[in-house]
Amino acid sequence: PPEATGTAVATASLHVRAAEVLEANWTGGSTVPSRNLYPHQWSWDSAFIAIGSRHLSPLRAQTELETLLAAQWADGRVPHIVFNPSVPLDAYFPSPDFWRSATAGRAAGAPRTVQTSGIVQPPVHALAAWLVHRADPGLSLARGFLARVYPRLAAWHRYLLHRRDLGGGGLASVVHPWEQGMDNSPCWDAPLARVTPAPARSFRRADLDHGAADDRPTDLDYGRYVRLAADYRDAGYADGEAEFAVEDPAFNALLIVSELALARIAEELGATGSARRTRAERLTAALVARLWDEESGMFLCRDLRGDTSPTAPGTPARRDPCDPGPRDGPGGPDTGLREPGAVPGAVPGDGTRRRGAATGRRPRPATPGLIPERGVSGLVPLVVPGLPRDIVDALVRTLRGPHFSVGDRTRLAPSYDLLGEAFDPHRYWRGPAWFNTSWLLERGLRTHGERERADALREAVLDLAGSTGFAEYVDPYTGEACGATGFGWTAALALDLLH
Ligand code: 9WN
């Protein structure tokens, strides 16, 4: 029938266009997220990109992951950026001369032959390695792919589970917002407000050469990112003393899913995966015990430095959940670095954008130390297969409810609470919908038997990826493209959903 033919043509054309993006972003050993905005290799981008590119070239997908893992540090960390030496230093900030991995990271075992950042990103890699293997097990076996990546992935997880269990409760912590991957999420506003920003004149934001200022983090955010990263670097990238330490639901959910993938990889290599499965169960229990918030029906982030309540072992004081939050407000440090004309707490822009409700809509978590902001990160644990059914049901309700409204007012999940005070439909991780989180939610819905909802999300990802030229992120209401186009993981994950 003509209609079916039309669909087949549209699918074929989306496939071709996604493949063209991946081809254009391929550099010979890895794929850049975006030629202009992000001209190096990024850690979790490469994992998502390999998940898509395995459908075009399993060899290229294996290479993508192996290039990243070749830059692993001796302590097990997989750096969030592997720098391409042929890209000019001023093309991206912070550049290799900021991180100084080979010298500042010497004690932690940074590689000598390649320059990297010193922080990490979410551990999607073992999941990606398993899926890449499955795309062509014969090639994988012939190349010894799994046998080569397994010890590196195991060391990576060991680093996260041991060096990064800063709360002592069995979960991994992030020590910088860039590590969690959702850089300026309102979830970080309270812990970031305690950080004194680096002076704006001390760095130059290369991102503003390519991205619209209204769609990117603010200068004040950048000042804090720079301060945190410089302090971490100056401490030799040693973990433990971090001034920013947060347990994040998505980061830990991805660790659980990757630990399960590592169990499959171990079994494929003839070893037993049972210890890893047990660890994944323990991690799932810790995720629920430490980050689940019954009242908001989703997971929240735990601020390890902002809570000193004696009832929360290993976590300092409870923040008053009714407190409006210190972001740039009276509780935050007086930095003198506010952007010209900026009003504390206001959303920059022309005033015509939809914003969140003013007050009284924050979750009031009963659990001490939890940050009372609803970010999409708190829905991502849907991807964990061993999640208790009542929690799955609550997450599905929250996804459809007024704060995210997926399938009603939005087609893809917004990155942040539609009703939250800080909501901004265009500004990066403060509202726009992203394709990697939607891919994870699609996978989660399917994992838990929510087939119709998964199908609808899949359709939405494919439609919007195609109509926006594979945008980095989109306005969650209108689907308007934001950030870069020709974005690596958007193309890769659309491709994956076509298979
Ligand atoms: C900092 C590359 C990365 C993504 C992150 C996204 C953004 C970098 C930046 O781009 O972060 O790592 O310069 O803003 O937030 O998730 O991995 O695509």
Does ligand 1 have an atom closer than 6 angstroms to the CB of 221? no
CB-based contacts of 331, cutoff 8 Å, min separation 6: 193, 323, 325
CB-based contacts of 308, cutoff 8 Å, min separation 6: 315, 316, 317, 318
Alpha helices in 136-248 (DSSP H): 137-143, 145-158, 177-180, 189-193, 219-234
pLDDT value at residue 215: 87
Does ligand 1 have an atom closer than 6 angstroms to the CB of 239? no
Q: 27: which DSSP letter?
A: -
With tokens 């060899």, the residue in question is 59
Amino acid identity of residue 149, one-letter, is V
Does ligand 1 have an atom closer than 6 angstroms to the CB of 421? no
Does ligand 1 have an atom closer than 6 angstroms to the CB of 472? no
pLDDT value at residue 363: 66
Sign of the dihedral defined by the CA atoms of residues 281, 285, 286, 291, in that order: positive
Whether the CB-CB separation of 119 and 238 falls below 8 Å is answered with no
CB-based contacts of 360, cutoff 8 Å, min separation 6: none
Cα–Cα distance list, 107 to 45, 115, 495 (Å): 27, 15, 41
Q: What ipTM was estimated for this complex?
A: 0.99
**Rg of the chain (C-alpha set):** 21
- How far, in Å, from the CA of 178 to the mean position of ligand 1? 7
Catalytic residue annotation: 183, 472
Which 3 state secondary structure label does DSSP give 349? coil
Which two structure tokens, joined as six digits, stand for 380? 């991502």
CA-proximal residue: ligand 1, atom 1 (nearest): 178
CA proximity to 396, closest of 430, 351, 447, 435: 447
- How far, in Å, from the CA of 345 to the mean position of ligand 1? 23
pTM: 0.89
The residues that bridge with 370 in the sheet, in sequence order, are: 302
Q: Which atom of ligand 1 is nearest to the CA of 45?
A: 17
The residues that bridge with 375 in the sheet, in sequence order, are: 416
Q: Which atom of ligand 1 is nearest to the CA of 488?
A: 18
Does ligand 1 have an atom closer than 6 angstroms to the CB of 207? yes
Bond into 324 cis (ω within 30): no
- How far, in Å, from the CA of 468 to the mean position of ligand 1? 19
Does ligand 1 have an atom closer than 6 angstroms to the CB of 197? no
- How far, in Å, from the CA of 8 to the mean position of ligand 1? 34
pLDDT truncated to tens, each residue of the chain (499 aa)? Answer: 556 677 877 887 999 999 999 999 999 999 999 999 999 999 999 999 999 999 999 999 999 999 999 999 999 999 999 999 999 999 999 999 999 999 999 999 999 999 999 999 999 999 999 999 999 999 999 999 999 999 999 999 999 999 999 999 999 999 999 999 999 999 999 999 999 999 989 999 999 998 888 889 999 999 999 999 999 999 999 998 899 999 999 999 999 999 999 999 999 999 999 999 999 999 999 999 999 999 999 999 999 998 544 444 333 333 333 233 333 332 233 222 223 233 233 333 333 344 444 444 566 555 569 999 999 999 999 999 999 999 999 999 999 999 999 999 999 999 999 999 999 999 999 999 999 999 999 999 999 999 999 999 999 999 999 999 999 999 999 999 999 999 999 999 999 999 9
The residues that bridge with 474 in the sheet, in sequence order, are: 433, 481
CA-proximal residue: ligand 1, atom 6 (nearest): 181
Q: Which atom of ligand 1 is nearest to the CA of 472?
A: 18
Whether the CB-CB separation of 280 and 170 falls below 8 Å is answered with no
* From 30, 38, 121, 209, mutation site for ligand 1 pocket: most ligand atoms within 8 A of C-beta: 38
